[in-house]
Every structure is written in structure tokens, then in C-alpha cells.
A and B are shown apart, each in its own frame.
Chain A
Amino acid sequence: MNALTIKALGFAALLIIATLAVVIQMDIDLTDSINAIAVGGAIAIATITAYVTTLYIGKMKTDTATGELVDENWDGIGERTNELPSGWAYTFLGTIIWLVWYWFIGYPVFGFSQIGQYNEEVLAHKARYEKKFAAASPSELKDMGKSLFFVQCAPCHGNTGDGLSGKAHDLTKRISKSEVLDVINNGSNKLGYPMGMMPPGMASGKDAEDIATYIAGGLKGEAPASSAACTSCHGADFKGNNGMAPNLVAYDNTLISHVLENGKKGIIGTMPSFKTMITPIQEKALTAYIQSIVE
């Protein structure tokens, strides 16, 4: 091997090591077959190119040009009648034989289907995780909810769940005064509680203000008398009357479940439904996580 080839292979190795170093830093599972094959491919690209190109460039130093010339000559350019380089010729022939084999035997026998493979991937995934975490502990649930939240919810609610200064609901608090007031004034009917819709105008003027302050304040102090208008549905403790209407003091399981199922439309904007994206266990995990970040 000449010095050039060694240098080139050194460069290839450096590139691959750098790649692996970065990838490992991101906690990538290199045993995942797709990841492993991709790394294999990368290694093949770097090393084969480095080796073969420098092999030929090396010949510029060591070999001399030989071979018969053809009769023609174009603008001073001659052409030799040398045979094909054998390594090239046999590899070409080999790939052609492989291609024919692949099409007439390999592919039909293997019978690959990408949707079939997807179905297997999903089943394997279920087998690996579903049972294991079917009865996840509360702390596991919370932990599980965290990455779900970052991937699915943070684009709207922000990484800390604070709603990005009013662009989505602030999940670190139960509910704000303006949200309560909006519901009192305009009603609400997207969440799909057994009670159906919340009618508009259950209170007004100063009464509404007082109720909103009281609820948004986390039920501190004396309940305003007018809030009786609410308790018939939301329960005397405002905890939702056993799931008949939303719990106004905490993110209970029922509330999160209804929000994820139906989405929510309110004064801030619209939250989409996640019913096609979130599995039951993921819903539990998200609930546990949200309950953990609320102040």
C-alpha cells in the first residue's frame, strides 16, 4: 500500500469515527438494524473510495504507460487498445450476474413488501414495550410523558408547558381568569362531556368577574355566592361532579382524556384532537406528566 492510500484510509477512518462520536452522543441505538446498515454503508463509501482511487493515483508514480495505439487520432489525442482492467471487468460481470439472479430468484423468493415490514415493525414494537409498561408505575408514567410532551405538545405549549406567553393554554396553571370569563360569556361545547355543552351567560357583569377571579385563583377564600350557578354542573368542589363536567381545579384524568379526544376551542385558539396520534398508555403518561408540571 502506498503512502497516499494510507493517508486516504486514515481520512476515511477519521470521518467515520467523527460520525460515530456525534451519533453516540445523541444516544442513538446502533443495534437498530437500519442504523447499523446505514453505518455499514457509510464505512463502505469512505473506505472503498479511498482505497480504489488512491490505488489508481498511486500508479501514476509507479507505472508507465504502455499499449498499442489505435489508427485514429483526434486533435492529437490517441487511444490505446489496452484490455479492460480485470478488477473492474470482473466486478462489472459479477454485478450483472447478481442483478439477473436478484430479479429471477432473489426478489421473487424473498417477496419483500414494505407494508408487510411495517406491520412487523409495529408488532415487534408492541411485543417489546407494550406488556412491559402496561402497568407502569406513576414515576415511569411521568417520565414516559416527558418525551411525548416534547415531541407532540411542546410545539404549541412550549417546552415548559407555559403556553408561550398566551399562544396556547398555560399548563403550569389550571386555568386563567380570561379563559373562565370567556367560557362564562360564550359557553363551550367541544370537549364532549356527558353534560353536553356549557351554555353561555350563566353569570354576567361583576358576578362573572368574581367567579372567574375565584376559580382562576385556585378557589382561595370565600366562594362568591353567584358561583352557585356553576356548582350544579361542576360540583360543589368544582371538581367536575364525577366527570359530568370539567374539573376546574385540577387536570384530572377525565379532562385530559376529553381534551386529547376532542381538542379544544377557546379564547386562545384551537387545540387539535390527538385521537389518532396518542395511544391509551401514552394518554396516561401525558396526564401524569401534566399533573407534575402544574404549580
Chain B
Amino acid sequence: MFFHWLEKNPFFFAVMTFAVIAFAGLIEIVPNFTEAARPLTTTTPRTVLELAGKNVYIKDNCIACHSQLIRPFKSETDRYGNYSLSGEYAFDRPFLWGSKRTGPDLHRVGNYRTTDWHENHMKNPPDIVPGSIMPSYKHQFTNVADIETAYAEAVTVKNVFNVPYGDDIKAGRKAWEAYRPKVLEDAKKVAADMKDEGVKKMIANGKVPEIVALIAYLNSLK
């Protein structure tokens, strides 16, 4: 019998196994690949500050508790806003849909929460929402966000994947030095709505605290 023959011929056994398992992947992923890569006309890439915030989101792994995917149920659209559309994610590398909602969905949190709320909340969630089990993220108020890496990320996706960033985003230290003030400007705008003295001091010293980048990112989730 064929299968028994395979059991005596490890090489062909392996080839057969591989063929059988590889096959489904092609059918499951390939047909939708181009379609799913298209942004909506209204989707814009994130700013460098927002990208830095996204990296804080990944570093502190908020995805452990928060999804970013609103399913098409009335109960979800009532709670979080419109159901999510594929094109909205076209610039998200990685995607951050999550698989567990220990906390609420955040895909449109920028619509119904604001900077000062996040500031209070991230410092100590139970102060704002009694009974909250979310950890406090005080360290984000003192850690410095890595905006240079965020910029490098923008450069990379622009050059490799044609993400529509402006001409001022290009490789090299000089271009970055020229761009840096813009990021600080954005950070200042966010910090203006915040109360934390330490944050204001860091911004004044030309540093962007992680919390500022993170809030810029959360506000961009709309």
C-alpha cells in the first residue's frame, strides 16, 4: 500500500506531509491578499509620534487585555462605534486585533476618551474606574519614548511598502535631525492637555515621555 511504502521511505514521507500541510495555506491566505492590502480613502499612516506610541503599546503589551476589532454586532457598535473595516488596518504592522478582551476594545477609543482622561487612567486605573483590574502604568510617565526608532520605522515602511509618508521622511541621521522638531511639536500639543509636572518638564527638555506618545496613539484610534 502507498502509505505503508511511505513509512519505509522517510524522505517521501516528509515530502508528502509537507505537501499536504502546505496546500491549505495557499487557499486560505493567497486569494484575499491583494484586496486586504488596500487602505480606505480616508486611512492615513500614523505620525511618527503615534508610531512611537504604538511601540509603547506593543512594549507594554496592552494587546494582552485589549482588542482592536469591533465585530459587526449591534451590541459592539453601540459600545464601541462602527464595526471595523479591513482597509482601516492597511498601515498596521503588525496588526493589533488581539484575541482577548479582559479590558474593552480600543479600536475607536479616540472617539470617546480624551487626553486628560487617559492621563489619569494610565496612572492608576482603579482611581478612575472603581473595580478596574488594569495595572497602573506609572513608569510610562518617566520612561522616554523612542521616537528615533519610530522614525526609522516610518522610513522603512515608506521605502519598502510605499506607505505614503511625505518627502521629509527619509533615511539618515541628518534627515532625522531635521524632522525631530516636528515630533516634539506634536508631543507638546498632547502634553498641553496634561497636568503631570514631570511630563511637562521632560517635554521642555526635548524628551518625549512614553505616556505622551501612547496617548497620541490612543487618540488616533478612531
Contact = CB atoms under 8 A, between A and B. Distances in A.
Q: Do A and B bind each other?
A: yes
Interface of A: 114-115, 117-118, 121-122, 125, 151-152, 155-156, 159, 164, 167-168, 263, 268-274, 276-277
B74 A122 contact: yes
Given A155-B128, A164-B128, A276-B81, A117 B72 contact: yes
Given A156-B117, A156-B128, A164-B128, 16 more contacts: A118-B72, A118-B73, A118-B83, A122-B74, A125-B74, A155-B117, A155-B128, A164-B127, A167-B117, A167-B120, A269-B116, A272-B113, A272-B114, A273-B111, A276-B111, A277-B112
Contacts, number: 56
Contacts of B73: 118, 121
A270 B81 contact: no
B139 to A, nearest CB: 21
Nearest to A124: B74
Given A270-B193, A272-B111, A274-B112, A118 B117 contact: no
B129 interface: yes
Contacts of B112: 152, 272, 274, 277
Contacts of A271: 114
B115 interface: yes
Nearest to A118: B72
B115 A118 contact: no
B3 to A, nearest CB: 13
Interface string B78-114: 1101110000000000000000000000000001111
Contacts of A156: 113, 117, 128
Q: Which 5 A-B residue pairings sit nearest by Cβ, starting from the closest?
A: A269-B116, A118-B72, A270-B114, A272-B112, A121-B74
A125 B75 CA distance: 11
A277 B116 CA distance: 20
Contacts of B129: 155
Contacts of A168: 117
Count chain A CB atoms within 10 A of each CB in B83, B112, B114 and give the residue with the most. B112
Contact of A115 (B72, B113, B128, B193): B72
7 contacts: A155-B113, A155-B128, A155-B129, A156-B113, A270-B115, A272-B112, A277-B81
A118 B84 CA distance: 13
A236 to B, nearest CB: 35
A114 B111 contact: no
A155 B126 CA distance: 11
A263 B120 CA distance: 19
